[in-house]
Structure 1
Amino acid sequence: MESGAEQITVFSLFLQADPVVKAVMLILAIASIWSWAVAVDKWMQFGDLEQAARKFERDFFSGRTVDEIDDRGGDKPRDALARVFAAASREFREARRTGMPTGDAANLLLARADRLMQAQVSRELGRASRNLGVLATVGAASPFIGLFGTVWGIMNAFTDIAEQQQTNLAVVAPGIAEALFATGLGLVAAIPAVIFYNKFSGDLDRFADRLETFSDEVAARLSRRLGER
């Protein structure tokens, strides 16, 4: 009994599996590794976004003027909030070169600045959400891929029973084991992917709210600056 138990290992299950089940196992293993790589990358990305956003917000709400913040941002800002701010400040600088607008011209300037910030917010969210679809796909598809391997493995088990005309454990166990192993791999790939997808989707929603709120703050500050003139 011990020798039979020792033969049924993860490695032996893979080597002895049917080619179709073996392909399913490989697909699920690659999907799991890929989802973990994406999860680590997104974890670091959202951490960097949070750190950069806090730093820029400290500068923005520290009492500095629009011009001072604009000078610190440079021509090529590196973080999301700075790029949103730069989208509006560039429009403000262009308008100021021909004289500070008033009345309807000022309202048009604010409308253009707001549209530019909204466009930049969309680009930032698109950049932040990149590869989240991988986690969603792995989380949704892996259980079904594993189920396909399970069904195929059970079919092989019944085929072995029919060929050998025996129903003892030695005949049934390998096929059932590889079938259940495919199911397990599907769950191993899917569960972390779903957890990470939900986590990063929440982070993305909070980041979107932060960008929207910040763009409203920038618009209010520009409006106040135009009102002072």
Structure 2
Amino acid sequence: MKLFPIIPAAALCIAAAPAFAFDVQALTVMLEQAEYDEMSPLGMFMAADWVVKGVMLSLLFASVLVWVIFVARIMILRWERHTLRRRYRDLDRAGSLIAASALFAKREGVVGQMMRAAERERAASGEGARQKAGIKERAESEIARIEAGAARRMGLGAGILANVGSTAPFVGLFGTVWGIMNSFISISESNTTNLAIVAPGIAEALLATAIGLVAAIPAVIFYNILARSLGGYKVMLADAGALVERTLSRDLDLAAQEAAEALPAFQLGAVSAPAAE
């Protein structure tokens, strides 16, 4: 039975082997052509100094990381906002934490965590009417911590976008300065100012700045988009927390009202029992 999942994977690897071999062969041809064409982007990278190569590779890695973080965060954020909106409607329709407890018993999410925190605080504090204000205050504190934790988890990766957006141009400028410095050294060693000699080195240096801008510009744009989306998500979290607090307050008021209505009937029964005897 354990062989069945392996067979499709092996078949897929065998089917993909010719395409992979073709890609490796095409990459080898591209590298060979780059050695002869020094003015192409790949040729400039191959001919660059090892420091400039390191700068270019780091900026390319940062650019890929920016795109991965942005796509992942936006997809997760949209899913969480959709789930939060649906859970909000479910709790609003239920109108009571007790009525919604069965609905949210097996559902993970921020609203479910808020509801369970409110129920735990209510159960730990008792049902006395005098404790109503204290229960709401303690539940509000716990719900605020849940909101802050959810917002912090959803904002993971935004700092990387900000760092790449602010530092990538300067990293690329460092590679440019280093490449131009090597070009001036080659001018002094060759004792000539022929542009054909120094142009490749200057082009390599400017390529580092271009890659830095390619990494920085999307990072700044993505950070602004993510910040606006996070702002809307925080507002939705605050609305959900306020709904849980209102529902808890309503449940406490209804419980106190039921207790007050049941108390006179209980006392009347206790007084009339000896008279009947």
TM-score, normalization by structure 2: 0.75
SS of residue matched to 1:7? coil
Question: What is the aligned length?
Answer: 220
Q: Which AA in structure 1 matches 2:121?
A: E
User: Could you tell me how far apart the structure 2 residues matched to 1:80 and 1:66 are?
Assistant: 15
Within-5 A mapping of 1:43-82:
43-74=74-105, 77-82=107-112
Kept after mapping to 1: 8 A contact 2:161/2:219:
yes
Kindly indicate whether residue 149 of structure 2 is the aligned counterpart of residue 119 of structure 1: no
Kindly indicate whether residue 99 of structure 2 is the aligned counterpart of residue 101 of structure 1: no
CA RMSD after TM alignment = 1.6
User: Could you tell me how far apart the structure 2 residues matched to 1:202 and 1:90 are?
Assistant: 34
Q: Which AA in structure 1 matches 2:129?
A: T
Q: Which AA in structure 2 matches 1:146?
A: G
User: Could you tell me how far apart the structure 1 residues matched to 2:41 and 2:111 are?
Assistant: 49
Q: Which structure: larger Rg?
A: 2
Q: Which runs of 5+ in 1 are unaligned?
A: none
Kept after mapping to 1: 8 A contact 2:63/2:214:
yes
**1:138-174 deviations in Å (ceiling 9; x for gaps):** 1111111001001111111111111112222211211
Kept after mapping to 1: 8 A contact 2:97/2:115:
no
1:6 Cα offset (Å): 4.4
User: Could you tell me how far apart the structure 1 residues matched to 2:83 and 2:239 are?
Assistant: 16
Between 1 and 2, higher relative CO (CA 8 Å, sep ≥ 6) is seen in 1
1:63 Cα offset (Å): 4.2
1:84 Cα offset (Å): 2.4
Runs of 4+ that moved beyond 4 A: none
1:14 is matched with 45
Kept after mapping to 2: 8 A contact 1:145/1:186:
yes
Kindly indicate whether residue 113 of structure 2 is the aligned counterpart of residue 83 of structure 1: yes
TM-score, normalization by structure 1: 0.90
Kindly indicate whether residue 62 of structure 2 is the aligned counterpart of residue 31 of structure 1: yes
Kept after mapping to 1: 8 A contact 2:92/2:243:
no
